[in-house]
Amino acid sequence: MTLTRTPIRAAVLTRAGSGLEIQDLHIDEPLPGEVRVRTLAAGLCHSDLHYIDGTLAIELPAVLGHEVVGEIVAVGEAKARHRIGERVVITISPSCGLCSSCVAGRATQCERSGELRQRERPKLTDARGAPVNLLGSIGGFAEELIVRESAVVPIDPAIPAREACLIGCCIATGFGAVVHAAGVSPLDAVAVIGCGGVGVAAIQAAKIAGARIIVAIDVHQAKLDRARSFGASHTLLSTDGLRDELELICPGGVDKSFEAVGSPHTAAQAFEILARNGTATILGLEKPGSRISVDAELLIEGDRKIRGAYMGTNQLPRDIPALISHHRSGALLLDRMVTSRWRFEEINEGFEAMKQADSIRAVIEW
C-alpha cells in the first residue's frame, strides 16, 4: 500500500532542556474515525513547559502542544461526524461515549481513552520516515494534526482563534473544576491558588457561578493585580502565614479551594485554608510519584475533602455553548488572558515570555 503523506512543519522537542526545533515532517491521511486539522492558534501551557525542561518525561522526538484551535481539512470517511471547513477546539481527552464513565457523564475518565490514542501507523514521521511522538496524541505545535473525531468540538468561528484555543486546556480545566467538580454556588467563599491560565479561568467561573468571596492567591503581585480584573474580590500574596491572613478575609476558611500550580506544597495549602466541610480541588499536574500531605485532624474532624479534577472533569461538547454565551455577555474574558502573541517560528520566545511574572497565556498563531 502506498501512503500519501503531506509535508508540514512542526516544532519538535529532540532533547529535554534544549528548546524546540522547527523541522520538516510528514503527516498521514486521517483514518476512519479521525479528522485532519490545519492549526490556527495554540496556547503555550505549563504542562508543555514541564516536558521541555524535563520535569515530566516524554518519549523523544516529540511534538508538544495540546491547547489548540484549527480548521478541519480532511475527514477519514464519507459518513464523518464533522465537516471539512469546520472550526474546532481540540480536547486532550478523547472519549468513546459508550463506557460506564462516558455514560455517567465523566468523559475525561473514559476507560478507552488510551485505546483511542492507539493507531495502526504513525501520524507523523521525520525526513527519514521514522515516527515522531505526539503529546496526548495531539501534537498541536505543528501546521496540521490528526485527532479522533471525538477529540474535536466545533466552535463559533467568530471568536478569534488566538482566544478560542484557550478553551481546549486552561478554560476547560478552570471552568470545569468550578462548575462540574466543585459545584460552586452563591453561598460559597472560594480561593484559587495560582493565577496563571487555569487559575484565572477558575476565578472567572467562580464569579459567573456567583461565589460570595473569591480570594486569588499567588507568589507574584503582578498576577494578583490581574486576578482582580478577572473577578477576584480579594488577593493574597502566598506566604507561610497564609492561613492567618485568610482568616481576616474569610473567618474559618473557604468553602471551595482550587490549586492551579502543580506542587505538593500548594496542594497542601489548598487543603489547609478550607473551612469545615470544605473541598479542595487539585488541578495542577505533578511529577509521577508526588505525595500530597494533609493534616489528619483537619480532614477527619472537620469533614474536609480533597479531590482531583483531571482537565476540570470538563464536558466540552456541553460546556462550549455555555462558554460562548458567557464570552458574548462579557462575563468570560478570553482576550485579556492572552498576554503575548507569537508567530509559530517564535515558539521558543513564547515559552520564555511565559516565565514572566505577569504572563497568563502566550499564544502562537499561524
Q: Footprint of Zn ion on this chain (CB under 5 A)?
A: 45, 47, 95-96, 99, 102, 110, 112, 169
**Least distance CB 317 / Zn ion (angstroms):** 13
Cβ closer to Zn ion: 45 or 224?
45
**Least distance CB 173 / Zn ion (angstroms):** 7
| Pairwise CA distance, residues 293 & 265, whole Å | 8
**Least distance CB 169 / Zn ion (angstroms):** 3
Cβ closer to Zn ion: 62 or 110?
110
Closest listed residue to residue 228, CA positions, set 260, 203, 259? 203
| Pairwise CA distance, residues 55 & 111, whole Å | 27
Three cell numbers written together for 80: 464523518
Cβ closer to Zn ion: 16 or 96?
96
Cβ closer to Zn ion: 3 or 57?
57
3-state SS assignment for residue 197: helix
**Least distance CB 49 / Zn ion (angstroms):** 10
Cβ closer to Zn ion: 96 or 333?
96
Three cell numbers written together for 91: 480536547
**Least distance CB 7 / Zn ion (angstroms):** 28
Longest pairwise C-alpha distance within the chain: 70
Closest listed residue to residue 207, CA positions, set 93, 326, 313? 326
3-state SS assignment for residue 110: coil
Dihedral Cα 262, 264, 270, 272, nearest 10 deg? -170
**Least distance CB 94 / Zn ion (angstroms):** 9
| Backbone φ, ψ for residue 205 (5° rounding) | -65, -40
Is the previous residue joined to 288 through a cis bond, with omega within 30 degrees of 0? no
Cβ closer to Zn ion: 132 or 135?
135
